[in-house]
Amino acid sequence: MNIRVIPGGRPTELLPLTCTFEVEDIPVCGVTLGERLCRRFAAAINPQMLSIRPVLFPSDVLFNQIVETTTAAEIVAADGEVLGWLNQTENRPEATAQIVVDAASLVIKYPWDVLAAAEKIVGALKANDIRGEIREGVVIDGLVEIGEGTVLLPGVYIEGNAIIGKNVKLGPNCYLRGNTYLGDNCHVGQAVEVKNSMLMEKVAAGHLSYIGDSIVGPKTNFGAGTIISNFRHDGKNHRSMVNGELVDTGRRKFGAIIGAGVHTGIHTSIYPGRKIWAEMSTRPGDVVQKDLRPEN
């Protein structure tokens, strides 16, 4: 099937991820949103051209409906937003049938939707694929993919599924749980817990930290004792500031969205639902109570 990913630009709703990436280039578990769509549809047999926005993460049902449709059609979200189309050319068809996105599909509008996509990818593992080194004293209670050159040191405990990239140093004595992804060349060390999160390449969390229900951008370094809170005392859904308005994330557990190249000082505490823009830093003992961005 011929596929064209429609450029997504840098929408402000997806900040701080779009400080660094255009939408189609946001890496989710090591593969960009645009490339993931291309790979998924590449083997499908359909005479038409598929033009699709990178924000669509289709369910199996929607995927099958798209590849089985041999007439011109638009792919439309529940709110009426056009997310793509099928046609003989790249041109958007006029006055045509519609394929409505089902509830099981994911439309990525906000940063926490990227986290939901990562959860789906890691949670879908069917078998172990271990190419790295696992030292004595490691416990794995789930399914894992472990890349070449990666070393799991004694005391590592993995509970749930995990995808771990190449040349990662994990441990000693750290804890991964939930559906977690660690990108290439990451370091997660002594007494660090990572829960249901996505760490992009070259993230370092060497000592005494907690990262829960979060996305961490590439080349970010956590000072010792950096803690990300992910739960409200009242148990309600987290809200996050987007373009000056608080938006309900729909998540009871939600940590932080941290851009590329961030550095936290030792003993930094981050409130749940907060975002830190690329290249920002905190001082030792800072408490991040609101989004941390250049103009703050």
pLDDT digits (tens, 9 = 90+) for 66-114: 999 999 999 999 999 999 999 999 999 987 899 999 999 999 999 999 9
pLDDT value, residue 251: 97
Which SS3 state, helix, strand or coil, does residue 142 take? Answer: coil
pLDDT value, residue 296: 56
Residues 6+ apart with CB under 8 A from 111: 14, 15, 16, 17, 215, 240, 257, 275
How many helices (H) and strands (E) would you count in the chain? 3, 34
70, 145 Cβ separation under 8 angstroms: no
DSSP sequence for 33-90: HHHHHHHHHHT---SSEEEE-TTEE--HHHHHHHHH--S-EEEE-TTS-EEEEEESSS
Residue ranges in the chain whose pLDDT is less than 70: 296
pLDDT value, residue 95: 73
pLDDT in tens, 194-226: 999 999 999 999 999 999 999 999 999 999 999
pTM of the model: 0.96
pLDDT value, residue 254: 98
Q: Give catalytic residue positions.
A: 207
**Rounded-to-integer distance, Cα 165 and Cα 48, Å:** 35
Domains contained in the chain, CATH given? 2-109 (3.90.550), 129-288 (2.160.10.10)
